[in-house]
Structures are given as structure tokens and as C-alpha cells.
């Protein structure tokens, strides 16, 4: 994909550099990416609200868009990444 669309959904808020750091990493990997912020105001640790926000937005994006969601259920816990492919 020459110009990937990447969405970000997090519970990070906007008071510190974490969102900018994520965007920097995405642009380092794919400099021509279009980055769309779904939200960064998911209630801390609330996976259900993060899921709702992401599920509400996904149908409006083109097929092949990459959706990155980070909502940590508890800071410092071990967690496994989850990848979902929608066809």
C-alpha cells in the first residue's frame, strides 16, 4: 500500500508526548501514511469503551486501513497483541 491509512485509538489523553511518539513511529515506517486520530480520550483502562469507539469508526474507512488501538487494562500487566483482519 503506497499511502496507507492508519487510525489511532488510545486511552493516552493529549497531555503528554505518547500520541506524538506513536505517530513518529508510524511515519518512520510509512512516511506517506495518513494518520487519523479516532480518539485518545477513551476512559483509562476501559477496553469496552475503546472497543466501542473503534468499532464505530472502522466501517467508514477504506478496506486495507490499519487500525491501532492501545487501551491498557492495567498499567504494567503482561498483554498479548491482537490482530484482526476484516474482509
* Sequential pLDDT tens for the chain (87 residues): 578 999 999 999 999 999 999 999 999 999 999 999 999 999 998 989 999 999 999 999 999 999 999 987 766 667 777 777 666
Let me know if residue 6 belongs to a domain. Answer: no
Split into its structural domains, the chain has a count of 1
Residue 40 lies inside a defined structural domain of this protein:
yes
* 9 in any annotated domain: no
C-alpha angle with apex 35: 34 to 40, nearest 5 degrees?
Answer: 165
Return the pLDDT at 82.
73
What pLDDT does 77 receive? 66
CB 44 within 8 Å of CB 10:
no
Range of the domain at 54: 36-87
Residue 73 lies in a domain: yes
Amino acid at each position: 500500500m503506497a499511502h496507507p491509512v492508519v487510525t489511532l485509538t488510545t486511552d493516552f489523553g493529549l497531555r503528554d508526548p505518547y500520541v506524538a511518539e506513536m505517530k513518529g513511529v508510524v511515519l518512520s515506517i510509512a512516511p506517506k501514511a495518513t494518520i487519523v486520530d479516532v480518539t485518545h480520550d477513551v476512559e483509562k483502562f476501559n477496553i469496552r469503551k475503546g472497543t466501542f469507539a473503534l468499532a464505530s469508526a472502522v466501517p467508514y474507512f477504506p478496506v486495507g486501513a490499519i487500525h491501532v488501538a492501545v487501551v491498557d487494562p492495567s498499567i504494567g500487566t503482561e498483554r498479548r497483541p491482537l490482530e484482526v483482519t476484516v474482509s
